[in-house]
Structure 1
Amino acid sequence: MRALTVVPQRQGSLRDDTLPDPAPAPGELLVRGLALGVCGTDKEIARGEYGWAPPGRDRLVLGHESLGEVITPSGGFAQGDLVVGVVRRPDPQPCGACAAGEFDMCRNGRYTERGIKEIDGYGSELWTVEPDYAVRLDPGLRRVGMLLEPTTVVAKAWEQIQRVGERAWFEPRRVLVTGAGPIGLLAALLGVQRGLDVHVLDRVTGGPKPGLAESLGATYHHDPVEKVLPALEPDIVVEATGVGSLVFEAMAGTAAYGIVCLTGVSPTGRTLTVDAGGINRELVLENDVVLGSVNANLRHYHAAADALARADRGWLERLVTRRVPLEKAAEAFEAGEDDVKVVITLSGD
């Protein structure tokens, strides 16, 4: 079979490879890969910044935003089922969180991840997966099901926001999502599905992003954040850019008893001057909360699958702005001017 592989932490090692077909272990599903989403983590691994190969190997099969079709069924799955594979696995000697099924909150860091950390990913024409780590999708999501994994990230974020809010009376009305990439727009989608007044902030004025936000019923802004925040006073901010200055602006710009959920990972090495005392005063005197959220567990995968099944299919298709075949996979790692989500197709359909 063909597969997209890389030598982790070696720049320029990405290639369209030929590997033996996988043999499913007893009880595993054999899956035909249909498509693979590409995200910032994949690009970091391809640049040699991150990632770990399976033990005893140099190369890692890349890819964690999966979509496939069951060939050999098992564990309640049928031939032809549309499935996505879960990314993370708990560590062999699990911490308390992993033992409770909350492996996205692993305390000791000994988890593994498909296509990222010590387990081959889903970027191949064939792959296997344990039934307990496979999620069945609505058949109508065949063109867009690779969006499930990024949707799990925001499904978890919204769950965490809800749990924090319910420490007391909680009836939020307005949410600001900063960043109109895939995570930001999917966060906006779930906010609209919750019946909130959703606003999306991004600096771009052209391309597909403004229209995608507005098609959801959200309001799109491109003014500076210091102008937008005072006008909105959002109850919730979902921060999806990782831009350090914007993160601190968001902390100080919510309504009283506001929640800021950080989903964007900031680069290191840049120094910012901030009024730490002023931010502390705002957080304490207004009972504000700032939390980070990353990864997802099985509960979030199922919540995300439900959210995508309820979403407008045409809108989801528009979120995928570029599709490239496996033989041209390197093109998916090059930024395009109007990219939102770029997808690698692994089979002819």
Structure 2
Amino acid sequence: MRALTVQPGTAGKGNSIPVSVEELPDPSPGDGELLVRGLAIGICGTDREIVGGHYGWAPPGSSRLVLGHESFGRVVSAPDGSGFAGGDLVVGVVRRPDPVPCGACARGEFDMCRNGHYTERGIKELDGYGSELWTVETDYAIRVDPRLESVGNLVEPTSVVAKAWDQIDRVGARSWFEPQRVLVTGAGPIGLLAALIGRQRGLDVHVTDLVTSGQKPNAVRALGAEYHSDPVTDVVAKLEPDVVIEATGVGEVVFDAIAATAPYGIVCLTGVSAGGHRLTIDAGATNRSIVLENDVVIGSVNANQRHYAAAATALADADLDWLNRLVSRRVPLERFSEALTAEPDDIKVVLTL
């Protein structure tokens, strides 16, 4: 079978080519595993960081890692009594609990691992789903509605925001909590999918991004949400949102969002910031605002099976035409370098297997 592999940490070193399509032996499913024919993988910033040598770990004993954590495939074979059957559409969960395990992993909340010994398909010490065939444990496989065959790769990024909303609900439940207005900063895949779930919850959703035309503003408006391209400080001052889901990772945006929520506001950070960029902020004023208004700032990353299931449900309930417009480009495996190169108007790039 063909697979997209990378040698983590080697970009720009000598004459090595860090990423390539290579022939690997077909996998054989073990006890309790599905054999799946890969249909496509979604490409995101994490994949580009791994290819760029900034992140990623190969499996023990190997120098190369099969890429691909935004999986989607069709079951070839399934164990008897597993609840799966040949032809089912599935995605595989990315993270696996650490072997120790920590308290969170022992309770199935491995997305909240305390000691960092978890592993991740296509990222950390486990081969990913970027191959023509792959296997996955039935406990870590999520069935996808057949009508989502063209957009199944959106389940993984949707699971990330399904978790974010879950965490927001848990924090809000410390007191009376009936949010009305939500601001999403960033109109990439995470931001748009966060906005989708906000609209499905009946909230007044606003999305801010830098671009003034094109796919992103159109996708926001098609949801029935409001799009803003004004500076974040102006937008939050006008809206005073009850909830902010921050999906850019841009330091200035993060602190502007934190500073201007409604009282008892919740800011959930999902964007990962690059290091080395310094800001000058009024830390005293920020602290005063958070304390006196009972505000909360939380970080959220990854997802467990509960969030994947919620994501699959959210996508099954969404308008299929709207979901399809999130896929900017579909690129065949042999032209992987095109998929790994971001273009200005991209939302989600899919590499077909």
Summarize the alignment of residues 1-349 of structure 1 with structure 2, pairs less than 5 Å apart: 1-11=1-11, 12-74=17-79, 75-346=82-353
TM-superposed deviation, 1:27: 2.2
**Inter-partner Cα distance in structure 1 for 2:299 and 2:32:** 36
TM-superposed deviation, 1:166: 1.1
Letter in 2 for 1:61: V
TM-superposed deviation, 1:197: 0.1
TM-superposed deviation, 1:17: 1.1
Which runs of 4 or more aligned residues in structure 1 lie more than 4 Å from their structure 2 counterparts after TM superposition? none
* Partner SS for 2:76: strand
TM-superposed deviation, 1:208: 0.2
**Inter-partner Cα distance in structure 2 for 1:207 and 1:338:** 7
Letter in 1 for 2:147: G
Unmatched runs of 5 consecutive residues or more in structure 2? 12-16
**Inter-partner Cα distance in structure 1 for 2:58 and 2:338:** 23
**Inter-partner Cα distance in structure 2 for 1:182 and 1:254:** 23
**Inter-partner Cα distance in structure 2 for 1:10 and 1:85:** 27
Unmatched runs of 5 consecutive residues or more in structure 1? none
**Inter-partner Cα distance in structure 2 for 1:68 and 1:283:** 45
TM-superposed deviation, 1:341: 0.2
Q: String of CA shifts for 1:142-191, please: whole Å, max 9, x gaps.
A: 10010000000000000000111111011110000000000000000000
Q: TM-score, length-normalised on structure 2?
A: 0.97
* Partner SS for 1:97: helix
Q: TM-score, length-normalised on structure 1?
A: 0.98
**Inter-partner Cα distance in structure 1 for 2:343 and 2:259:** 33
* Partner SS for 1:69: strand
**Inter-partner Cα distance in structure 2 for 1:333 and 1:272:** 30
Q: String of CA shifts for 1:192-214, please: whole Å, max 9, x gaps.
A: 00100000000101220000000
**Inter-partner Cα distance in structure 2 for 1:227 and 1:92:** 47
**Inter-partner Cα distance in structure 2 for 1:71 and 1:172:** 44
Q: String of CA shifts for 1:269-293, please: whole Å, max 9, x gaps.
A: 0111110000000000000000000
**Inter-partner Cα distance in structure 1 for 2:313 and 2:35:** 24
Letter in 1 for 2:307: H
**Inter-partner Cα distance in structure 2 for 1:2 and 1:23:** 15
Equivalent residue for 2:14? none
TM-superposed deviation, 1:2: 0.3
**Inter-partner Cα distance in structure 1 for 2:90 and 2:233:** 43
**Inter-partner Cα distance in structure 2 for 1:66 and 1:235:** 33
TM-superposed deviation, 1:76: 1.5
* Partner SS for 1:157: helix
**Inter-partner Cα distance in structure 2 for 1:22 and 1:166:** 45
When structure 1 is superposed on structure 2, of 258-267 and 68-77 the one drifting more is 68-77
* Partner SS for 2:261: coil
**Inter-partner Cα distance in structure 2 for 1:35 and 1:334:** 17
* Partner SS for 1:65: coil
**Inter-partner Cα distance in structure 1 for 2:151 and 2:135:** 20
TM-superposed deviation, 1:23: 1.0
**Inter-partner Cα distance in structure 2 for 1:81 and 1:3:** 22
**Inter-partner Cα distance in structure 2 for 1:206 and 1:20:** 46
